[in-house]
């Protein structure tokens, strides 16, 4: 449950600190990137508390993460990329907790 809360809280903090003029918009865009979890539907079982998402699901693969990192350098995609990278970092941390 705390993990899911972090997926809302961390983007809110980043939006507040770095996107003061458009905090709500930035937060909503980064929250929308949680749709990346749709790839969990391809797994069997869909949810496994002992499975690390990073490196297992297609949209959580290392290749996908590199693409998200490259997207960060394109201003038009920066917020989406930032949301995806935050999501991947939080999922990766969850692999060790």
Domain count across the chain: 1
Look up the pTM and report it: 0.93
Residue 52 phi/psi, 5-degree rounding, is -85, 120
Residue with tokens 């290392």: 62
Q: What is the pLDDT of residues 5-37, one digit of tens each?
A: 999 999 999 999 999 999 999 999 999 999 999
Q: What is the DSSP string of 32-74?
A: HGGGGGGGGGGSSSS--TTS-STTTSGGGSHHHHHHHHHHTTS
Question: What would the pLDDT profile of 63-72 be if each residue is shown by its tens digit?
Answer: 999 999 999 9
Contact present, 81 and 68 (Cβ < 8 Å)? yes
pLDDT digits (tens, 9 = 90+) for 40-95: 999 999 888 888 999 999 999 999 999 999 999 999 999 999 999 999 999 999 88
């Amino acid at each position: 449950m705390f993990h899911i809360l972090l997926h809302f809280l961390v983007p809110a903090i980043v939006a507040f600190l770095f996107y003061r003029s458009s905090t709500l918009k930035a937060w909503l865009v980064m929250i929308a990137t949680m749709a990346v979890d749709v790839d969990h539907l391809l797994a069997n079982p869909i949810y496994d508390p002992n499975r690390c998402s990073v490196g297992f699901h297609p949209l959580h693969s290392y290749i996908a993460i590199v693409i998200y990192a490259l997207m960060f350098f394109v201003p038009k995609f920066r917020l989406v990329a930032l949301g995806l990278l935050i999501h991947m970092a939080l999922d990766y941390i969850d692999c060790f907790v």
